[in-house]
Amino acid sequence: MGSTRKYWKWGWVALVLSAVLAGSILAGCGLLTKQMTGNTSGSLNPLDELQGDGDILTGPPPLEDTLNLGTVTVGNTVKGTIRLYILRKQQGQNTFADGATVTVAFDPKQGSPGPLVVTVTKGTISLPPNWTKQDNDTLSVDYAEASVQLTATAVGSFNHVVHFDASGDKSGGDTLTRGGNINVRYTVIPASDTEPPRVTITFTPDGKNGWFVTDPACGTVVATDNVAVTSLEATGGELSNIQGLGTTHVTATICVTGEGTHTVTVTAKDAAGNEGSDEEEVKIDTIPPTITITTPPNGAEYILNEPVYADYSCSDDGSGIADCSGPVANGDPIYTSAVGTYNFRVTAEDVAGNTSKLTHTYSVVLKFYGLLPPYATGRKYKIGSTFPIKWQYTDYYNVPQDSADAKPTVSIQGPYTCPAPSGGTTSLPATSGASGLRYDAAAKMWIYTWQTKGLKQGCYDINIDSVDPYPDGGPFRVNLVTR
């Protein structure tokens, strides 16, 4: 109102606001210690009051001052007191009259997050009978008072506004009125946080028995807290993709590198310094087992029915051997019961599930058994006789085997100067299919009848070639003499 403002000259009269936080905070919050000192009751010391949140309010309305309720914990109640004084200003007629009663009303204008309850406990200020004769800046002894009560319901920084109006008899008649606002500011923090964050590390091994067969091995981390997880740290592994720090739910990826067994620890903290952690063992084995086959060596050749004992082993430096197996158990006889070529394959698996295999090939063959009597090494034979060359194909124990399809070829070269070969001078033609060659099925014996009539004296070498799998024989030296 223009007329009101013209009528007022707020430079000479002021209300003095003093806030006395005489209240208490429940549940052990002691942040208002300073404001709670002194002046909760009894006679007033104006100077002390002025050192608090209250300032002398001057100037035209609205007047604002800050009543700082400080830091409030959620769920707790804080109380304060607002006191208003009159400050004497020598500004002509615009001052309250001697002995005037000034009436003060308080009204919370807005509130968030919860209502600020303002209760007027003393609604009037009685000025002394000689008020207009007081010196400039004299503060009234009497004051108006209202209590302020707040119950914090949410976290954050807030302020309320309390409006007040004061009115009373003016010096020289009429009425002086005055209004203004007081901001009530406070910060609400969470209730005391003693609950540590919870951390869960989850690894899902891709191998067997809890082992990873890949490197690096990665898992997930989830950290939760009733208020907020403010930090996440790891030992034994590397965190990445951390999301949600500063919230109640934080996730991350954790990876571990290197063969062997690792211990991984992830620790989460909250703002109150509480710590929570989880620890997991991570086992990595990416290397397959090593296989050694000593018997049979690769390419080995054994005689039919020859006793041969398997000798093989497997080793693994990581998770260890879970399985090592071959055609027969280690130490048992390998198969030599039929002529042929065989694979001896050993497979191995480690505990983590890595596998390897190694194959040796061996063959089982017959033995050329001969020449049979009458041939004998070093013996001399008379030219002109009929010389029977006999041989068999046998197993390891010289037991003759059926060899009807051996298709042997007999070749004889000579004569050489006895006893040592000195290079052939005559080569007799090969006698394959010659009428002198026959197979005795009953005896499982081959016989070649060599007609020596007309041959020269000397040594001759007999070689017998056979088709696979029958072995060749020779050379067998025969010394032909004239008599």
Please give the residue ranges that form the binding site for Ca ion (CB under 5 A). Answer: 193, 195, 225-227, 270, 274, 285, 287, 316, 318, 350
Nearer of residues 28 and 173 to Ca ion, judged by Cβ: 28
State in angstroms the smallest separation of the CB of 78 from Ca ion. 23
DSSP letter (8 states) at residue 209: T
State in angstroms the smallest separation of the CB of 312 from Ca ion. 18
Nearer of residues 74 and 383 to Ca ion, judged by Cβ: 74
State in angstroms the smallest separation of the CB of 349 from Ca ion. 9
Q: Are 221 and 274 in contact (CB under 8 A)?
A: no
Amino acid occupying residue 46: P
Nearer of residues 123 and 216 to Ca ion, judged by Cβ: 216
Nearer of residues 280 and 350 to Ca ion, judged by Cβ: 350
Nearer of residues 82 and 199 to Ca ion, judged by Cβ: 199
Rg (CA), the chain: 58
State in angstroms the smallest separation of the CB of 325 from Ca ion. 17
Task: Residue 362: name the closest of 291, 295, 292 by CA.
Answer: 295
Task: Give dist(CA 368, CA 225) in Å, integer.
Answer: 86
DSSP assignment of 82-133 equals: EEEEEE----TT-SBPTT-EEEEEEEEEE-SSSPPEEEEEE-EEEPPTTGGG
Query: ∠220-223-224 over CA atoms, to 5°?
Result: 145
Q: Which residue is nearest to Ca ion (CB)?
A: 318
Whose structure tokens read 């430096």? 317
State in angstroms the smallest separation of the CB of 309 from Ca ion. 28
DSSP assignment of 220-263 equals: EEEEE-SS-EEEEEEESSEEEEEE-TTSSEEEEEEEE-SSEEEE
Cβ neighbors of 211 (< 8 A, separation 6 or more) are 205, 283, 284, 285, 318, 319, 351, 352, 353
Nearer of residues 271 and 447 to Ca ion, judged by Cβ: 271
DSSP letter (8 states) at residue 427: B
Nearer of residues 48 and 195 to Ca ion, judged by Cβ: 195
State in angstroms the smallest separation of the CB of 70 from Ca ion. 23
Q: Are 195 and 225 in contact (CB under 8 A)?
A: yes
Nearer of residues 274 and 411 to Ca ion, judged by Cβ: 274
State in angstroms the smallest separation of the CB of 439 from Ca ion. 56
State in angstroms the smallest separation of the CB of 465 from Ca ion. 50
Nearer of residues 180 and 288 to Ca ion, judged by Cβ: 288
Task: Give dist(CA 3, CA 6) in Å, integer.
Answer: 5
Which backbone phi and psi does 456 adopt, to 5 degrees? -80, 155
Nearer of residues 266 and 459 to Ca ion, judged by Cβ: 266
Strand partners, 333: 309
State in angstroms the smallest separation of the CB of 184 from Ca ion. 29
Element (H, E) at 25: none
Q: Are 263 and 256 in contact (CB under 8 A)?
A: no
Nearer of residues 74 and 300 to Ca ion, judged by Cβ: 74
DSSP assignment of 367-394 equals: EEEEEETT--TT-EEETTSEEEEEEEEE
Nearer of residues 134 and 290 to Ca ion, judged by Cβ: 290
206's torsion region: left (phi>0), alpha (psi -120 to 50) or beta?
Answer: alpha
Task: Residue 85: name the closest of 36, 134, 118 by CA.
Answer: 134
Amino acid occupying residue 224: T
State in angstroms the smallest separation of the CB of 273 from Ca ion. 9
State in angstroms the smallest separation of the CB of 170 from Ca ion. 59
